[in-house]
Amino acid sequence: MALSETLMEIYRGMREAFGHQHWWPGESPFEVMVGAILTQHTNWRNVERAILALKQEGLLSPAALAAAEPDRLQAAVRSSGYYRQKAARLRRLAAYLIEQAGGDLDLLGEVPTHELRRQLLGIRGIGPETADSILLYALERPTFVVDTYTKRVVVRHGLLDPGCTYMELKELFESCLPQDVELYKDYHAQLVRVGRLFCRSQPLCQRCPLHGLLGDPVEDEQV
């Protein structure tokens, strides 16, 4: 079976089990950007509390974040953990958006995806996964998001070696799947769902919707 067919078989198996995931929650593209930073090293419930606090403080805009006093911003995002670092990252993101587009995200539409990704990665504290989450979920760009769950599924089913890099994983999906924003969104969300429920550090293969679909998973891979 060709890799493109294998990846679509994986997607169909997850989609049949879980239904469409309707990711990423957010009332605006900027809120999605903020969530992508706040979700680093925490769960989504804590992110929701922080976003609500930002709304209540009137801080959920690039201009308001850039002008906010550090202590006030840190207090608002405290529930997300690592609140000092995350507050600083939010301020840097806001400053970037103001500098590049006057705070108007629509103006970023003229910037090619590869250049936007390069610029986002140039913001201290924003790594590949966060940058790709912002591009895909907030800016509707066809770039695949890779996380721990992605690697576990791919490696355990022998599609790539355990030492594969983020970019190798990203290239696997982007080269084998149609350049489709909605497919990328739901595929990533499905991988997160199957990873949380079944493809854990100690996998629950017998109950996984992918069990038997791709043959036996590779055993004893530390991913």
Per-residue pLDDT tens for 142-158? 999 999 999 999 999 99
Nearest to 88 by CA among 31, 135, 33, 37: 37
The per-residue pLDDT for range 155-183, each reduced to its tens digit, is 999 999 999 999 999 999 999 999 999 99
Q: Are 100 and 58 in contact (CB under 8 A)?
A: no
The per-residue pLDDT for range 38-52, each reduced to its tens digit, is 999 999 999 999 999
The per-residue pLDDT for range 54-84, each reduced to its tens digit, is 999 999 999 999 999 999 999 999 999 999 9
Residue 40 identity = Q
Residue 118 has pLDDT above 60, yes or no: yes
Q: 3: phi > 0 → left, psi -120 to 50 → alpha, else beta; which?
A: alpha
In sequence order, the 6+-apart residues with CB closer than 8 A to the CB of 103 are: 61, 62, 63, 94, 97
pTM of the model: 0.94
Once rounded to an integer, what is the mean pLDDT over residues 33-38?
A: 98
Identify the structural domains of the chain with CATH numbers, from first to last.
3-22+145-207 (1.10.1670.10), 29-138 (1.10.340.30)
Q: What is the pLDDT of residue 218?
A: 60
Residue 31 has pLDDT above 90, yes or no: yes
Q: What is the pLDDT of residue 123?
A: 98
The per-residue pLDDT for range 9-22, each reduced to its tens digit, is 999 999 999 999 99
Q: What is the pLDDT of residue 215?
A: 60
Query: Sign of torsion, CA 58 61 67 72?
Result: positive
The shares of helix, strand and coil residues in the chain, as percent rounded to the nearest 5, are 65, 0, 35
Residue 212 has pLDDT above 90, yes or no: no
Q: What is the CA radius of gyration of the chain?
A: 18
Q: Which position has the higher pLDDT, 200 or 220? A: 200
DSSP state letters, 148-211: HHHHHHHHHTTSS-TT--HHHHHHHHHHHS---HHHHHHHHHHHHHHHHHTSSSS--GGGSTTT
Token output for 140: 């509707």
Q: What is the pLDDT of residue 175?
A: 97
